[in-house]
Every structure is written in C-alpha cells, then in structure tokens.
Structure 1
C-alpha cells in the first residue's frame, strides 16, 4: 500500500493517493510528541532522570530495546540526567525511541492527542508509547495517514519545524532532492514499512509538503539500504521536477 499527499504549503492537496489509508505510525508519531513538548509550558532546560521503564496503557510497565533504537547516546545516560530540550532534539534528529518515551512521560498522552486534534487529523493518533507491546496486543495502535501527516506538518510552529530540519536520516524524501535543499521532516521505518513526511523549501518557488506512507514487502527495515526508501526518493524527485506546476496550485 502506497499513500501520498502533495500540497503547496498551507494549501489544499494537489495530489492524493490513498491519502486516508491508515498505516502503522512508526517514528512519524514523534512529530506529534515534539509539538506536545513545545506546547506544554515545560521548562525545556529542566533535567530529568533517564530511565528505561514506562507505564503501559494496559497499566503495567515496559521498556525499550537498544537493538531497535537508532540513537545510542540517550542509552549512555541511563541512571543519569538529561534536559527535556536535549531529549526532544534526539527524538527527531536521531529518532531516539528512548528519548521519545521519556518526553511522552513528561507531557502525557492527552497532550499528544490534542496536537493531532489541533492539526485537524481525522483518523491518525498515537495513544501509546513506542514498544508498548502489551498496549498493541490489547488493540491500542499508533496509526497515521498521509493526509494527516501533511496536516500535522502544516500545523507546526516555526521553531518546531526548525528542529525537524536537523534530521540526520536523510534518505527517502531528502535523497530525492538536489544536495543542499532545505527541508524539515521526519521519517519512520521498520520491516514492512517506510514513511516520510516533510516540508520542502525550494529556492525558486514556494515551499510544499510531501507525505508518503508505504507498507509492503519492499521495506527492509534497514535505516539506509532500504528498497522502500529508494522508492520514496524517486517519488520525491518526481515531485521536485514538477515544483513549479505545484506552486501554481497554491492559494
């Protein structure tokens, strides 16, 4: 299943493909957690304990697995302290699962649900933490659609979007753009899926939003050498070639 939305920034979509089909959210849900942190009023410089035990939506507890985390640095701070600001940054720049659950514990699920509602999402949500397998088995799922991911990006404050510009995993959408092209986005992957959503800022036309969700056998789950990532890169390159036509569709 391939889903896609292409839209001039702040305008209605110009291209839709299975836009409302739901996919497992993977790490794209970290954007909603980031927005919740920045809207929470928390002291972002506050130091909090770095632990690996979180409350499941089922009432028990669970932890993250280092083997499934793409960022080793938060794990080096287990038993120590880290600032909310640093953890929120690692969550989206290096896609840290541990940092995500630590941030989620600070703001709570209700705040994240509010972010989705404020974005105008009609079906997407992230009601459990990452690797809360008991919650998943109980039927609580983090799911997204391409349309809702585009809406989420459109709803973000400039300072939150600015953090997404530092995503180091520059495959899929980023890989389909000319080197040095500015974009703010987040991707997510594991075996069987590869998603990416970004605001792209061409130098010669107005910015546009591209959100692509893929669930299928092409997705190897590898961070870099993933056939599904190459597919998304080709889609991104095609949208880039038509950016001037796309710009004429905006308000």
Structure 2
C-alpha cells in the first residue's frame, strides 16, 4: 500500500495531490515528531539532567525495555546509567531516530499531551498510545498509527515553532524524500522504517519556488527494515523526485 499527500506550505491550502491519504500505517519512527512537539509544548525544562535508563511503563501495565540491536543510534546506550540534558535526548530522537531516547522523552510527557499534538494539528486518524517496543501493548491491539494526510497536518502545525523545524532539518538519515531532491536542497523531515513499512514526511524548500509539504507512506514486502539500504527507501526517493519535477505546479494549482 502506497499513500502520498502533496500540499503547499503557505496558508491552509488543501493538498494538490493525494493517493490513499487516509489509510492507516504502522507509524514506525514518524511518531517521534508528535513526541517532540508534546515535549516542547509541555514547558518542561529541556536543560534539566535526566537519568538514562532502559525501563519504561507499558501502556497496559508492567514494564518493558528497548533492544539495542533495533536502535539506530548508539549514543544513548553509551550513556546508560548517567544523567544527560533532556534536550540531548530530544535531539537524538529526531536527528538519529533513537528509540531509547524516544521512550525517555515520552516518560517526561504524557500520552494525553501527545494526543493533544495530533488533535491540534487537525489529525483525524493518527495516534500514539504507546512507547516504542511496548510489545505487551501491541499484542492487545494498542498501536501507533499514522496516515499520510495526518503527517502533513502534523508538520504544518509546527509553522510557529521554527526550533522544531530546524531540528528536523538536521536529520542524519538523508535517504527517502531527501534522496530524491537535488543535492543541498533544504528539507525538514522525519523518516521511519520497520520490516514491512517505510514512511517519510517533509517540508521541502526549493531554491526557485515556494516550499511544499510531502508525505509518503509505504506498507509492503519491499520494506526490509534497514535504516539506509532499504529498497523501499528508493521507492520513496523516486516519488520525491517525481514531485520535485512538478514543484512549480504545487502552489499555482492550490
């Protein structure tokens, strides 16, 4: 299943292209944007030191932990047992897609706060009811889900929070949508991958026309779950490249 939404960035313009925009996909790491926004808006002191641990409260009771082998970022694991600024964890959650950092950030906010991020964005279907690798919750149907339309709405909701968009521009995984753009094209984006699913949402700033939003979600056998060498990542790059060739039409048709 391939879902695509393309929309102008300016104002509240409707998408100019949609394909399966409201189909739900496993959120993978795209949900980390909602966690970031919830943490930022909570007023918590991001400079405060917090303990780096690997035990978290499950959404259905009990505790769970992350598996280092499934994490794309070694740094938080090297910091286990120490105290670090919460801002560092928030940064690694986005720039290096750290699962451990994500759950540590979730522990400093609330599921209700994350749900409110989606609500304020105007999302109608997406939700983030549990942490990453909370398998007990997943076993009873408590899942993190996103649609391409809601991901575009989520990024649009950050318009007045340039600090968050700036963090998304520092994403280290320059694959998926970024790989389909000319070198050095500015893009604030978050990708996510698991076996069977590959997604990416971004705000693209072309050099010769107004910026635009794009979200591509893919669920299917092409997605290997590799962080950079995933065949599905190349699919997303091709979609991004095709949209780029028609970038001048996005705002003119809005």
TM tier relative to shorter chain: over 0.9
1:222 equivalent among 217, 222, 226: 226
**What is the alpha-carbon distance in structure 1 between the residues aligned to residue 127 and residue 140 of structure 2?**
16
Q: Write the deviation string for residues 16-71 of structure 1: whole angstroms up to 9, x where unpaired.
A: 00000000000000000000111010111000000000000111000000000000
The two structures have a TM-score, normalised by structure 1, of: 0.98
Cα distance in 2 for residues equivalent to 1:202 and 1:31: 22
Which string of whole-angstrom CA distances, capped at 9 and with x for unpartnered residues, describes residues 220-248 of structure 1?
Answer: 11111111110110000000000001121
Within the candidate set 103, 114, 117, 2:116 is matched to: 114
* 1:162 equivalenced with 2:187 (yes/no): no
| Displacement after TM superposition at 1:12 (Å) | 0.8
Structure 2 counterpart of 1:134: 136
Q: 1:146-161 counterparts in 2 under 5 A?
A: 146-156=148-158, 157-161=161-165
Q: In 1, distance between residues paired with 2:229 and 2:50?
A: 35
RMSD: 0.7
The question of whether the paired residues in 2 share the 8 Å contact of 1:8 and 1:249 is answered with no
Q: CA-to-partner distance for each residue in 1:195-230, whole Å, 9 max, x for gaps?
A: 000000011111000000000011111111111110
Runs of 4+ in 1 over 4 A off after TM superposition: none
> Which of 201, 204, 208 pairs up with 2:205?
201
- The 3-state SS of whatever aligns with 2:213 is strand
Which residue of 1 is the match for residue 24 of structure 2? Answer: 22
Report the secondary structure of 1:183's partner residue: strand
Q: For residues 74-89 of structure 1, what are the structure 2 equivalents within 5 Å?
A: 74-89=76-91
SS at match of 2:50: strand
The answer for unaligned runs of 5 or more in structure 2 is none
Q: Which residue number in structure 2 is paired with residue 239 of structure 1?
A: 243
CA distance, structure 1, for counterparts of residue 83 and residue 105 of structure 2 = 13
Question: Which structure 1 segments of 5+ residues have no match?
Answer: none
Residue correspondences, number: 250
Residue 5 of structure 1 aligns with which residue?
Answer: 5
TM-score (norm. length: structure 2): 0.97
